[in-house]
Amino acid sequence: MDKVIKPKTARGKRKLLQREPKVIEGPKNCVFLRSSTINQFTTDVMKDICTLKKPFTVFRNKHGNKLILPFEDVSPVEFLCKKYECPLFVVGSHSKKRANNIVMGRTFDNQVLDMFELGIENYKPMAEFKIPKIAIGSKPLLIFGGEQFDEQEEFKRFRNFLIDFFVGCKLDGLRLSGVEHVIQVVAHESKILFRCYKVRLSPTGTKYSKLELEEMGPRIDFSLRRSKLASDDLLKKSLKKPAEVRIKKVKNIKKSKLGTTFGRIHMTRQDYSGLQTRKMKGLKKTAATS
């Protein structure tokens, strides 16, 4: 059993309160770990992904001579995620059997929830694209393409992971000029094509601006090698919302995907016997019909 830690100072008490589960969670931090067998090529890929995730990142350049292989032994990853308070992790490694390899995953309750092992087949760094880069902390617009993201469970879970990875801060509103960054992920055959674009708005002389996409990098082609998916029960538990933030269901009211509200009104049966209709002599009641 885990030892109960009691704070000795006010600062330690505030630190423990920050680690406690919250009703509304903030942005998820990600720790980037380098295994002892990593090469410079894989390190550059991790740095570019770290740049897209900033400022919610912890990049550890050195961990001694530790060999971190999450699919063989996940305990070092869980320990480091708990140490740096990061529910997301990226581990880079390189070997003859699995060259240019990165493992991306997430944790729940200090235990690994999902993991995806990706092989880097093609890579063009962000520095080779000679265009101005986006500001740190910019929230990207995610676009997914490919039938695999709708048909295969492995790709469905990977899409859910990427949304969780790049979700960033919660926004109350959105303006067109605030969209600066687009990330496109396309599943083609057995590859995952990762592309990043910068949004540029050009005036057209009307109230509408012309939107153009300019590739800013990195450009990466991944191959999905292995994956470890959480069970449906564990995934459902991780997605459970506390009672404080649940929206109470209102009877007979529904909302569409676009936010339109539809209501159903129940009325008693109307009495048509006293309804006044158009008067005409042919419909006048007589002694025989009454």
pLDDT top residue among 223 and 171: 223
pLDDT of residue 208: 79
Pick left, alpha or beta for residue 124 (phi over 0 → left; psi -120 to 50 → alpha; otherwise beta).
beta
pTM for this structure?
A: 0.79
Average pLDDT over residues 37-64: 87
Query: Is residue 1 predicted with pLDDT exceeding 60?
Result: no
Task: Give the Cα separation of 47 and 102 in Å (integer).
Answer: 12
* Residue 193 pLDDT grade (very low, low, confident, very high; cuts 50, 70, 90): very high
Specify the pLDDT at position 61: 67
Per-residue model confidence (pLDDT) at position 272: 78
pLDDT at 62: 58
CB atoms within 10 A of CB 164: 14
Does the pLDDT value for residue 200 go beyond 80? yes
pLDDT of 290 higher than 60: no
pLDDT of the residue at 18: 76
Domains of the chain are 27-169+176-238 (3.40.50.10480)
pLDDT at 211: 83
β-sheet bridge partners, residue 139: none
pLDDT attached to residue 289: 54
- pLDDT at 232 > cutoff 90: no
pLDDT of residue 242: 79
DSSP, residue by residue, 89-146? EEEEE--SSS-SEEEEEEEETTEEEEEEEEEEEEEE-GGGS-SPPPPTTPPPEEEEES
pLDDT of 198:
92
pLDDT exceeds 70 at position 217: yes
Q: How far is CA 21 from the centre of its chain?
A: 19
Residue 155 pLDDT more than 70?
yes
Separation between Cα atoms, residue 43 and residue 279, nearest integer Å: 90
**Range list of β-strands (E), the chain:** 30-34, 57-60, 88-93, 101-108, 111-124, 141-145, 181-188, 191-202, 210-215, 219-228, 253-255, 261-263
pLDDT at 65 over 70: no
pLDDT surpasses 60 at 110: yes
Which residue, 98, 101, 182, is CA-closest to 134? Answer: 182
State the pLDDT at residue 273: 78
pLDDT band at 283 (very low <50, low <70, confident <90, very high): low
